[in-house]
Amino acid sequence: MVFSPWHYLPAAFSALLVVALALRGGSHRSLAPVMALSGLLGLAGYLSGGNFRISPLDFHVLHSGIGLTALLLSLGLFLDGIWARKVQGRVHCRLGHIALAFAVLALVSGLLMLSGWVSEKELQAAVQGPAPKEQQVASSRLPEAEAVMFQGVRLTPMAQQGNNAISGTQHLDRATFRLRVTGLVKEDLNLSYEQLLALPAYSELAYMPCVDGWGFSAKWTGFRVTDLLNRSGLLPGASYAVFYSADGYSTGLPLDYLRENEILMAYGLNDVTLPQERGFPFQLVAKGRYGYKWAKWITKIEVTDAEVKGYWESRGYSDSAKVGEFPFG
DSSP code of residue 296:
B
Reported CATH class of domain 130-315: alpha beta
Residue 93 CB contacts under 8 Å (≥ 6 apart), including other chains: none
Nearest to 241 by CA among 227, 258, 228, 260: 258
CB 225 within 8 A of CB 179: no
Q: What is the pLDDT of residue 47?
A: 74
Residue 182 CB contacts under 8 Å (≥ 6 apart), including other chains: 188, 300, 301, 302, 303
Q: What is the pLDDT of residue 90?
A: 63
Task: Locate all alpha helices (DSSP H) within 1-160, ordered by sequence.
Answer: 5-23, 32-48, 59-79, 89-115, 120-126
Q: Kindly report the CA angle at 88 between 84 and 93, in degrees rounded to 5?
A: 120
Q: What is the pLDDT of residue 181?
A: 98
d(CA 98, CA 96): 5
Within 10 angstroms of residue 232's Cβ, the number of other Cβ atoms is 19
pLDDT tens track, the chain, 329 positions: 456 677 878 888 888 888 887 776 555 667 778 888 888 888 887 776 555 655 455 666 777 888 888 888 888 877 766 665 554 556 667 777 787 888 888 888 777 766 655 544 445 544 445 666 789 999 999 999 999 999 999 999 999 998 989 999 999 999 999 999 999 999 999 999 999 999 999 999 999 988 776 788 999 999 999 999 999 999 999 999 999 999 999 999 999 999 999 999 999 999 999 999 999 999 999 999 999 999 999 999 999 999 999 999 999 999 999 887 777 76
CB 180 within 8 A of CB 300: yes
Nearest to 203 by CA among 273, 283, 138: 138
Q: What is the pLDDT of residue 53?
A: 59
Max distance between CA atoms of the chain, in angstroms, equals 79
Nearest to 132 by CA among 240, 204, 32: 204
Domain ranges of the chain: 5-125, 130-315
Amino acid found at 190: N
pTM of the model: 0.71
Helix (H) or strand (E) holding 256: helix 255-260
Q: What does the DSSP assignment read for 297-313?
A: SEEEEEEESS----TTG
Beta strands in 142-183 (DSSP E): 149-150, 153-154, 178-183
Residue 217 CB contacts under 8 Å (≥ 6 apart), including other chains: 129, 130, 153, 154, 155, 156, 205, 206, 207
Helix 5-23 and helix 59-79, axial crossing angle in degrees, nearest 10: 50
Q: Kindly report the CA angle at 59 between 58 and 64, in degrees rounded to 5?
A: 100
CB 265 within 8 A of CB 228: yes
